[in-house]
Amino acid sequence: MTTRTGSATVELPSDTEILITREFDAPADLLFEAWTNPVHVPNWWGFEDNPMILCEIDLRVGGAWRFVVTDDEHGEFGWHGVYQEIERPNRLVSTEVFEGYPDAESLNTVTLDEADGVTTMRTRVLHKTKENRDGHIEAGMEEGMQISMNRLDAILETLKAEVS
Amino acid sequence: MARAATTTDPFNAIAEPRRRQILDLLIEGERPVSEIVAALPVSQPQVSKHLKVLKEVGLVKSRSEGKRRLYRVDAVALKPMHTWLERYEELWNRRLDRLDHYLYTLQAKEKEE
Protein backbone atom coordinates (compact mmCIF):
# COMPACT_ATOMS: atom_id res chain seq x y z
CA MET A 1 0.00 0.00 0.00
CA THR A 2 1.14 3.51 -0.66
CA THR A 3 0.37 6.93 0.72
CA ARG A 4 -1.78 7.51 -2.35
CA THR A 5 -4.34 4.91 -1.28
CA GLY A 6 -7.86 6.29 -1.59
CA SER A 7 -6.71 9.51 -3.26
CA ALA A 8 -8.77 9.26 -6.44
CA THR A 9 -11.33 12.03 -6.78
CA VAL A 10 -14.55 12.12 -8.75
CA GLU A 11 -16.02 15.39 -9.99
CA LEU A 12 -18.99 16.27 -12.16
CA PRO A 13 -17.65 19.11 -14.35
CA SER A 14 -20.93 19.39 -16.28
CA ASP A 15 -24.33 17.71 -16.46
CA THR A 16 -23.01 15.06 -18.85
CA GLU A 17 -19.47 14.46 -17.59
CA ILE A 18 -17.64 12.55 -14.89
CA LEU A 19 -13.99 13.29 -14.19
CA ILE A 20 -11.86 10.83 -12.23
CA THR A 21 -8.39 12.04 -11.20
CA ARG A 22 -5.58 10.06 -9.58
CA GLU A 23 -1.80 10.44 -9.29
CA PHE A 24 0.64 7.55 -9.53
CA ASP A 25 4.31 7.27 -8.61
CA ALA A 26 5.11 5.68 -11.95
CA PRO A 27 6.10 6.82 -15.43
CA ALA A 28 3.33 7.44 -17.95
CA ASP A 29 4.76 4.69 -20.19
CA LEU A 30 4.27 2.04 -17.54
CA LEU A 31 0.83 3.31 -16.63
CA PHE A 32 -0.27 3.28 -20.27
CA GLU A 33 1.03 -0.27 -20.58
CA ALA A 34 -0.77 -1.46 -17.43
CA TRP A 35 -3.96 0.28 -18.62
CA THR A 36 -3.99 -1.16 -22.16
CA ASN A 37 -2.18 -4.50 -22.22
CA PRO A 38 -4.50 -7.51 -21.67
CA VAL A 39 -1.59 -9.25 -19.97
CA HIS A 40 -1.76 -6.65 -17.19
CA VAL A 41 -5.36 -5.41 -17.00
CA PRO A 42 -6.90 -8.52 -15.35
CA ASN A 43 -4.36 -8.14 -12.53
CA TRP A 44 -5.99 -4.98 -11.25
CA TRP A 45 -9.25 -4.11 -13.04
CA GLY A 46 -11.45 -6.72 -11.34
CA PHE A 47 -11.65 -7.30 -7.58
CA GLU A 48 -11.10 -10.30 -5.32
CA ASP A 49 -14.88 -10.81 -5.20
CA ASN A 50 -15.39 -9.73 -8.85
CA PRO A 51 -12.59 -11.33 -10.85
CA MET A 52 -12.14 -10.46 -14.49
CA ILE A 53 -12.95 -13.45 -16.67
CA LEU A 54 -12.51 -11.84 -20.08
CA CYS A 55 -10.19 -9.08 -21.26
CA GLU A 56 -9.98 -8.44 -24.97
CA ILE A 57 -8.05 -5.41 -26.22
CA ASP A 58 -7.38 -4.64 -29.86
CA LEU A 59 -5.34 -1.49 -29.37
CA ARG A 60 -5.76 0.17 -32.76
CA VAL A 61 -7.93 3.09 -33.84
CA GLY A 62 -11.20 1.35 -34.68
CA GLY A 63 -10.17 -1.69 -32.64
CA ALA A 64 -12.55 -3.10 -30.04
CA TRP A 65 -12.18 -3.87 -26.36
CA ARG A 66 -14.37 -5.94 -24.04
CA PHE A 67 -14.09 -6.61 -20.32
CA VAL A 68 -16.22 -9.08 -18.35
CA VAL A 69 -16.18 -9.57 -14.60
CA THR A 70 -18.15 -12.13 -12.63
CA ASP A 71 -19.95 -11.86 -9.33
CA ASP A 72 -21.29 -14.77 -7.24
CA GLU A 73 -24.49 -12.92 -6.52
CA HIS A 74 -25.31 -11.11 -9.77
CA GLY A 75 -23.58 -13.12 -12.46
CA GLU A 76 -21.54 -11.54 -15.23
CA PHE A 77 -21.09 -7.85 -16.05
CA GLY A 78 -19.63 -6.72 -19.35
CA TRP A 79 -18.31 -3.51 -20.84
CA HIS A 80 -17.15 -2.93 -24.40
CA GLY A 81 -16.13 -0.16 -26.73
CA VAL A 82 -14.02 0.96 -29.66
CA TYR A 83 -10.73 2.89 -29.58
CA GLN A 84 -10.96 6.31 -31.22
CA GLU A 85 -7.57 7.92 -30.56
CA ILE A 86 -4.33 6.40 -29.31
CA GLU A 87 -1.34 8.57 -28.44
CA ARG A 88 0.95 6.39 -26.37
CA PRO A 89 1.63 7.15 -23.55
CA ASN A 90 -0.38 10.34 -23.02
CA ARG A 91 -3.85 9.95 -24.41
CA LEU A 92 -6.43 7.26 -25.07
CA VAL A 93 -9.95 7.91 -26.33
CA SER A 94 -12.51 5.15 -26.59
CA THR A 95 -16.23 4.57 -26.48
CA GLU A 96 -17.67 2.57 -23.60
CA VAL A 97 -20.94 0.74 -23.20
CA PHE A 98 -21.95 -0.93 -19.95
CA GLU A 99 -23.81 -3.95 -21.29
CA GLY A 100 -26.48 -3.54 -18.58
CA TYR A 101 -27.40 -0.15 -20.17
CA PRO A 102 -26.72 -0.71 -23.89
CA ASP A 103 -28.17 2.66 -24.96
CA ALA A 104 -25.91 4.74 -22.73
CA GLU A 105 -22.68 4.84 -24.68
CA SER A 106 -20.06 7.21 -23.30
CA LEU A 107 -16.87 8.64 -24.78
CA ASN A 108 -13.96 8.18 -22.39
CA THR A 109 -10.79 10.24 -22.64
CA VAL A 110 -7.85 9.13 -20.52
CA THR A 111 -4.91 11.50 -20.29
CA LEU A 112 -1.60 10.78 -18.58
CA ASP A 113 0.64 13.72 -17.65
CA GLU A 114 4.02 12.90 -16.18
CA ALA A 115 6.06 15.39 -14.15
CA ASP A 116 8.96 14.60 -11.80
CA GLY A 117 8.17 10.90 -11.74
CA VAL A 118 4.51 11.42 -10.86
CA THR A 119 1.87 10.72 -13.47
CA THR A 120 -1.56 12.30 -13.19
CA MET A 121 -4.29 10.23 -14.76
CA ARG A 122 -7.50 11.98 -15.73
CA THR A 123 -10.41 9.95 -17.02
CA ARG A 124 -13.16 12.07 -18.49
CA VAL A 125 -16.38 10.17 -19.14
CA LEU A 126 -18.68 12.07 -21.48
CA HIS A 127 -22.29 10.93 -21.81
CA LYS A 128 -24.85 12.04 -24.37
CA THR A 129 -27.39 13.00 -21.70
CA LYS A 130 -27.41 13.85 -18.01
CA GLU A 131 -29.73 10.86 -17.47
CA ASN A 132 -27.16 8.50 -18.96
CA ARG A 133 -24.40 10.11 -16.89
CA ASP A 134 -26.41 9.73 -13.70
CA GLY A 135 -27.36 6.17 -14.67
CA HIS A 136 -23.69 5.39 -15.10
CA ILE A 137 -23.02 6.52 -11.53
CA GLU A 138 -26.14 4.91 -10.16
CA ALA A 139 -25.61 1.57 -11.85
CA GLY A 140 -26.37 -0.95 -9.17
CA MET A 141 -27.85 1.63 -6.85
CA GLU A 142 -31.39 2.59 -6.01
CA GLU A 143 -33.31 3.63 -9.08
CA GLY A 144 -35.12 6.90 -9.44
CA MET A 145 -32.52 9.07 -7.78
CA GLN A 146 -31.61 11.88 -10.07
CA ILE A 147 -29.35 14.60 -9.00
CA SER A 148 -26.76 16.76 -10.54
CA MET A 149 -24.45 18.86 -8.52
CA ASN A 150 -22.23 21.03 -10.63
CA ARG A 151 -20.36 22.01 -7.56
CA LEU A 152 -20.41 18.86 -5.55
CA ASP A 153 -16.79 19.39 -4.66
CA ALA A 154 -17.80 22.49 -2.71
CA ILE A 155 -20.50 20.52 -0.93
CA LEU A 156 -18.07 17.77 -0.07
CA GLU A 157 -15.77 20.34 1.48
CA THR A 158 -18.66 21.75 3.51
CA LEU A 159 -19.58 18.26 4.63
CA LYS A 160 -16.08 17.30 5.58
CA ALA A 161 -15.80 20.46 7.65
CA GLU A 162 -19.21 20.21 9.31
CA VAL A 163 -19.61 16.47 9.82
CA SER A 164 -16.14 15.77 11.09
CA MET B 1 -46.74 13.05 -9.73
CA ALA B 2 -43.28 14.58 -9.98
CA ARG B 3 -44.57 17.63 -8.12
CA ALA B 4 -45.59 15.63 -5.07
CA ALA B 5 -42.19 13.95 -4.97
CA THR B 6 -40.24 17.22 -4.97
CA THR B 7 -41.44 18.06 -1.52
CA THR B 8 -40.59 14.71 0.02
CA ASP B 9 -37.31 13.69 -1.56
CA PRO B 10 -34.11 15.77 -1.51
CA PHE B 11 -32.89 14.07 -4.68
CA ASN B 12 -35.94 15.23 -6.61
CA ALA B 13 -35.84 18.63 -4.95
CA ILE B 14 -32.43 19.38 -6.39
CA ALA B 15 -33.20 17.92 -9.80
CA GLU B 16 -34.50 21.47 -10.44
CA PRO B 17 -31.55 23.50 -11.81
CA ARG B 18 -32.61 26.76 -10.13
CA ARG B 19 -32.70 25.07 -6.76
CA ARG B 20 -29.18 23.75 -7.34
CA GLN B 21 -28.05 27.31 -8.06
CA ILE B 22 -29.62 28.46 -4.82
CA LEU B 23 -27.86 25.66 -2.94
CA ASP B 24 -24.57 26.61 -4.59
CA LEU B 25 -24.99 30.16 -3.28
CA LEU B 26 -25.89 28.98 0.20
CA ILE B 27 -22.93 26.60 0.32
CA GLU B 28 -20.72 29.68 0.19
CA GLY B 29 -22.40 31.00 3.31
CA GLU B 30 -25.58 32.07 5.01
CA ARG B 31 -27.61 34.57 3.00
CA PRO B 32 -30.89 36.49 3.13
CA VAL B 33 -33.44 36.05 0.32
CA SER B 34 -32.55 39.47 -1.09
CA GLU B 35 -28.98 38.39 -1.83
CA ILE B 36 -30.17 35.27 -3.63
CA VAL B 37 -32.58 37.34 -5.69
CA ALA B 38 -29.75 39.74 -6.56
CA ALA B 39 -27.47 36.92 -7.67
CA LEU B 40 -29.95 35.06 -9.87
CA PRO B 41 -32.29 36.15 -12.67
CA VAL B 42 -35.32 35.12 -10.63
CA SER B 43 -38.05 37.04 -8.86
CA GLN B 44 -38.34 37.09 -5.11
CA PRO B 45 -41.57 35.04 -4.99
CA GLN B 46 -39.88 32.34 -7.08
CA VAL B 47 -36.83 32.26 -4.84
CA SER B 48 -39.07 32.04 -1.79
CA LYS B 49 -40.95 29.13 -3.37
CA HIS B 50 -37.72 27.26 -4.09
CA LEU B 51 -36.45 27.95 -0.57
CA LYS B 52 -39.70 26.58 0.83
CA VAL B 53 -39.20 23.30 -1.08
CA LEU B 54 -35.56 23.08 0.00
CA LYS B 55 -36.60 23.66 3.61
CA GLU B 56 -39.34 21.03 3.40
CA VAL B 57 -36.89 18.35 2.32
CA GLY B 58 -34.48 19.52 5.00
CA LEU B 59 -31.67 20.70 2.74
CA VAL B 60 -31.89 24.28 3.94
CA LYS B 61 -32.39 25.80 7.37
CA SER B 62 -33.24 29.36 8.32
CA ARG B 63 -33.05 31.70 11.28
CA SER B 64 -34.19 35.21 12.01
CA GLU B 65 -31.75 38.05 12.53
CA GLY B 66 -33.58 41.24 13.28
CA LYS B 67 -35.96 41.83 10.38
CA ARG B 68 -34.10 39.51 8.07
CA ARG B 69 -34.41 35.76 7.63
CA LEU B 70 -31.10 34.07 6.85
CA TYR B 71 -30.87 30.79 4.96
CA ARG B 72 -28.11 28.21 5.08
CA VAL B 73 -27.41 24.69 3.80
CA ASP B 74 -27.92 21.82 6.23
CA ALA B 75 -24.81 19.76 5.53
CA VAL B 76 -26.10 16.69 7.37
CA ALA B 77 -29.14 16.51 5.08
CA LEU B 78 -26.80 16.55 2.08
CA LYS B 79 -25.14 13.40 3.37
CA PRO B 80 -27.23 10.97 1.26
CA MET B 81 -26.17 12.84 -1.87
CA HIS B 82 -22.62 12.82 -0.73
CA THR B 83 -23.00 9.06 -0.36
CA TRP B 84 -24.37 8.80 -3.91
CA LEU B 85 -21.16 10.03 -5.46
CA GLU B 86 -18.99 8.63 -2.71
CA ARG B 87 -19.93 5.07 -3.63
CA TYR B 88 -18.83 5.68 -7.20
CA GLU B 89 -15.66 7.30 -5.92
CA GLU B 90 -15.11 4.31 -3.65
CA LEU B 91 -15.35 1.93 -6.61
CA TRP B 92 -12.74 3.91 -8.53
CA ASN B 93 -10.53 4.22 -5.49
CA ARG B 94 -10.58 0.47 -5.01
CA ARG B 95 -9.76 -0.09 -8.67
CA LEU B 96 -7.04 2.55 -8.93
CA ASP B 97 -5.48 1.50 -5.61
CA ARG B 98 -5.16 -1.97 -7.11
CA LEU B 99 -3.56 -0.48 -10.23
CA ASP B 100 -1.22 1.54 -8.02
CA HIS B 101 -0.20 -1.57 -6.13
CA TYR B 102 0.25 -3.48 -9.37
CA LEU B 103 2.48 -0.74 -10.79
CA TYR B 104 4.70 -1.01 -7.70
CA THR B 105 4.97 -4.75 -8.28
CA LEU B 106 5.89 -4.17 -11.93
CA GLN B 107 8.49 -1.54 -11.03
CA ALA B 108 10.00 -3.78 -8.35
CA LYS B 109 10.30 -6.61 -10.92
CA GLU B 110 11.98 -4.24 -13.40
CA LYS B 111 14.59 -3.34 -10.80
CA GLU B 112 15.32 -7.00 -10.06
CA GLU B 113 15.92 -7.78 -13.72
CATH number of A52's domain:
3.30.530.20
pLDDT above 50 (res A150): no
pLDDT confidence tier of residue A89, bands split at 50, 70 and 90? very high
Query: B68-73 and A91-98 as β-strands: parallel, antiparallel, unpaired?
Result: unpaired
pLDDT above 50 (res A127): yes
Q: Which residues of B touch A10 (CB under 8 A)?
A: 85, 88-89, 92
Position with higher pLDDT, B8 vs B40: B40
The answer to whether the Cβ–Cβ distance between A159 and B82 falls below 8 Å is: yes
Q: Which of B26, B97, B105 to mutate to test the interface with A (most CBs of A within 10 A)?
A: B97
What is the extent of the structural domain holding A119? 9-163
CA of B55 to nearest chain A CA: how many angstroms apart? 17
Residue-wise pLDDT tens digits, B33-62: 999 999 999 999 999 999 999 998 888 999
Nearest neighbour of B103 by CB, restricted to A31, A158, A161:
A31
Contacts of residue A58, Cβ cutoff 8 Å, sequence gap at least 6: A64, A65, A83
Per-residue pLDDT, averaged over B11-30, amounts to: 81
Task: Evaluate whether residue A136 is within a structural domain.
Answer: yes
Choose the weakest-confidence range: A15-19, A56-60, B56-60, B73-77.
Answer: B73-77
Per-residue pLDDT, averaged over A50-67, amounts to: 95
Is the minimum CB–CB distance between A162 and chain B shorter than 8 Å? yes
Total of domains in chain A: 1
Task: Evaluate whether residue A139 is within a structural domain.
Answer: yes
Task: Evaluate whether residue A149 is within a structural domain.
Answer: yes
Residue-wise pLDDT tens digits, A20-31: 999 999 999 999
Choose the weakest-confidence range: A43-52, A111-120, A142-151, B75-84.
Answer: A142-151
Task: Evaluate whether residue A4 is within a structural domain.
Answer: no
Q: Mention the CATH class of domain B2-73.
A: mainly alpha
Q: Contact at 8 Å (CB) between A18 and A10?
A: yes
Per-residue pLDDT, averaged over B9-34, amounts to: 82
Task: Evaluate whether residue A2 is within a structural domain.
Answer: no
Helix (H) or strand (E) holding A116: none
pLDDT above 60 (res A6): yes
Choose the weakest-confidence range: A78-87, B13-22, B35-44, B102-111.
Answer: B13-22
Task: Evaluate whether residue A91 is within a structural domain.
Answer: yes
Burial track A7-26 (b if 16+ CB lie within 10 A, e otherwise) = ebebbbeeebbbbbbbbbeb
Is the minimum CB–CB distance between A129 and chain B shorter than 8 Å? no
Cα→Cα distances A96→A79, A93, A99, A105, Å: 7, 10, 9, 6
